[in-house]
């Protein structure tokens, strides 16, 4: 910055240099921590056979023999996919390439929910990628609901350390009886622990997996300040390398179980010792992400919560 403060002749190169040094910190390239790639531990599933159309079917296209899918948002409709199975615990991941260009109001989501089956007490685990403002910018938001407690949303928001529109990046959810962990490119950005003292706020019922793009103009970008500008539509998001390694819930069973040794699909694949808690390497990576890139946490929102939720203490 000292160079910019000197009284040097105005020149094109000086202007470029000064502007470059004023770029916001979240758009600078970061040297990311080394972590175990959990996405290498689970198989990919064919998207066209693992998912059904949830809405906007004309805006859904399957590519590369069903291993990839594109979803579009236009003036008529958004679009979405829903898994054919419901899962009770597991590892769920997708490689996602976001729409390029101006994207305020656009929401791309990879999430789990059972709102269709439990409309009044549903669970939800969300990765929502939000068009951020009038620049070509995105942020990633995580959220958790349990037993219909949507009024107590537990959002946390992060800037990216890369351009999510240039290529596919991994967005993953680990959900088991011990904790729920959100990952971006295998780096944990958030851990929500299952505590015996807060059972009612932990997702506990089988859920479907969704991949969607839709119009979030009313809330997504600075509380609705910037709506979707359809002059730039269609907005197209690409999903690939989908992983759905979970305990498949038996639709005929009255009680969910993940320990049926007679049915391999009903065994929890993330119940081993390596999944019960984060490694020291993962904890260090998560601390890096939260210190460098998190810019909102509900636990710090004193305006919204006069009394902080119990898990924040």
Euclidean distance between the first and final Cα of the chain, in Å?
40
The radius of gyration of the chain's CA atoms, rounded to the nearest angstrom, is: 21
Q: What is the pTM of this model?
A: 0.88
Active site residue 124: yes
Give the model confidence (pLDDT) of 94-153 as tens digits: 999 999 888 989 999 999 999 999 988 899 999 999 987 766 589 999 999 888 766 667
List strands edge to edge, sheet with 79-83. Answer: 51-55, 79-83, 208-215, 106-113, 124-131, 138-145, 156-159, 294-297
Domain annotation for the chain: domains and CATH numbers? 44-249+259-312 (2.60.120.200)
Q: How far is CA 270 from CA 184, 234, 237, in A?
A: 18, 38, 29
- Mean of all residue pLDDT scores within the chain: 86
Count the Cβ atoms, other than its own, within 10 Å of residue 231: 6
Is position 128 annotated as part of the catalytic site? yes
In this structure, are residues 191 and 222 in contact, taking their beta carbons and an 8 Å threshold?
no
The whole-number pLDDT of residue 137 equals 80
* 73 compared with 133, residue with greater pLDDT: 73
Say whether pLDDT at 15 is over 70.
Answer: no
Which pLDDT value is given to residue 49? 96
DSSP, res 225 = T
pLDDT average, residue stretch 296-300? 94
Q: What is the 3-class SS of 22-77, one letter each residue?
A: CCCHHHCCCCCCCCCCHHHCCCCCCHHHHEEEEECHHHEEEEHHHCEEEEEECCCC
Q: Catalytic one among 128, 155, 241, 243?
A: 128
182-205 pLDDT per residue, tens: 999 999 999 999 987 677 889 989
Spatial contact of 238 and 96, defined as CB atoms under 8 Å apart: yes
Tell me what pLDDT residue 17 has.
37
DSSP assignment of 97-133? EPPPS--TTEEEEEEEE-TTT-TTS--EEEEEEEE-S
Q: Which of 124, 156, 218, 311 is catalytic?
A: 124
The order of strands in the sheet holding 60-63 is 60-63, 68-73, 235-248, 87-97, 169-175, 179-184, 187-193
> What is residue 200's predicted lDDT score, i.e. its pLDDT?
81
With a pLDDT cut of 90, the percent of the chain lying above it is 62
73: tokens are 């948002």
Between CA 203 and CA 232 the distance in angstroms is 37
The pLDDT value given to residue 4: 42
What integer is the mean pLDDT of 203-226?
Answer: 88
Dihedral sign for Cα atoms in the order 217, 218, 221, 224: positive
Residue 310 DSSP SS3: helix
pLDDT tens digits for range 238-270: 999 999 999 998 877 766 677 666 677 778 889
């Amino acid at each position: 910055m000292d160079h910019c403060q000197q009284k040097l002749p105005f020149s094109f190169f000086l202007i470029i240099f000064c502007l470059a040094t004023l770029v916001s910190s979240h758009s600078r390239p970061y040297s990311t921590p080394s972590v175990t790639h959990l996405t290498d531990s689970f198989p990919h599933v064919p998207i066209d056979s693992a998912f059904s159309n949830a809405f906007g079917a004309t805006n859904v296209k399957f590519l590369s023999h069903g291993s990839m899918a594109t979803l579009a948002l236009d003036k008529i409709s958004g679009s979405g996919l829903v898994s054919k199975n419901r899962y009770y615990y597991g590892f769920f991941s997708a490689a996602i390439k976001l729409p390029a260009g101006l994207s305020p109001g656009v929401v791309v989501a990879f999430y789990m929910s059972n709102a269709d089956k439990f409309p009044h007490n549903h669970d939800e685990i969300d990765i929502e990628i939000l068009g951020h403002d009038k620049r070509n910018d995105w942020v990633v938001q995580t959220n958790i609901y349990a037993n219909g407690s949507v009024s107590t949303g537990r959002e946390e928001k992060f800037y990216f350390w890369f351009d999510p529109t240039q290529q596919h990046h991994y967005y993953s959810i680990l959900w088991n009886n011990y904790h729920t962990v959100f990952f971006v490119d295998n780096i944990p950005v958030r851990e929500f622990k299952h505590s015996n003292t807060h059972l009612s706020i932990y997702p506990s019922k089988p859920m479907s997996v969704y991949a969607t793009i839709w119009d979030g103009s009313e809330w997504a970008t600075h509380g609705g300040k910037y709506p979707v500008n359809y002059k730039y539509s269609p907005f197209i998001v690409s999903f690939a390398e989908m992983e759905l390694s979970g305990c498949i819930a038996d639709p005929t069973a009255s009680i969910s179980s993940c320990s049926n040794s007679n049915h391999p699909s009903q065994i929890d694949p993330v119940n081993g010792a390596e999944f019960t808690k984060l490694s020291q390497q993962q904890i260090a990576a998560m601390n890096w992400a939260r210190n460098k890139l998190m810019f909102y946490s509900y636990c710090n929102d004193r305006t919204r919560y006069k009394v902080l939720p119990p898990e924040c203490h």
